[in-house]
Amino acid sequence: MTEKANVILSNRKTRIWLILALVVAIWVGGVGQAWGHSTEGLVRVMLDKAKPTYDDFAFFIEPYVNQEKYKGVHEPYRGRFYAMDDVMELRLMGREAEATFEVLDMRGNERFLDTMRFVRGDDGFWRFMGAEGGPREVFTYIPEWEHILKTKVQPGGMVGLPVMLALLIWLRLRRKKGPKQPAEPIEPA
């Protein structure tokens, strides 16, 4: 190292900032994966987006694969644990979607690809078609502020807009009539 670099690194403030930057870089890089599908600060809702992303479906696929999809497929089932490793592809075809993802069999440490087919119903909600017992509604998680906007603000606007329009029409008609003038007194004849 040059002498100038030695002088800079020997400065205590510089060393502290470098160590702090290194710790922050390691922390940010390490927790990014763990928070990939964290539901902290999110609200669970039924998926009704016209163009959902693979993340929207992943919130449903992950627990379904872990808890139900492969239950009883391999004998003995005890001790087997399946995890969705990664969504490889999401194909949207109008009102249908197909998600291809990689599954990890934790017992055998094997990976294999699987697909799930989803259909958007007439009510706008997406459903998983391969569920035991018939189609199952797909859930996802959205930020709390978006949930409040969808459930409180938009319906309020839908009611408030006609009310405001009626109020404006009433005020306009009242203005056209002009101020009310007192009636002229009737004189006896």
Average pLDDT, the chain: 78
Where do we find the tokens 């403030």? 13
pTM of the model as a whole: 0.59
Number of H helices, E strands in the chain: 5, 7
Tens digits of per-residue pLDDT, 67-81?
Answer: 777 776 666 555 667
Where do we find the tokens 């060393």? 15
CA distance 55 to 68: 20
Whether 123 has a pLDDT exceeding 50, the answer reads yes
Beta bridge partners of 142: 43
CA distance 65 to 84: 6
CA distance 153 to 160: 10
For the chain, domain boundaries: 42-143
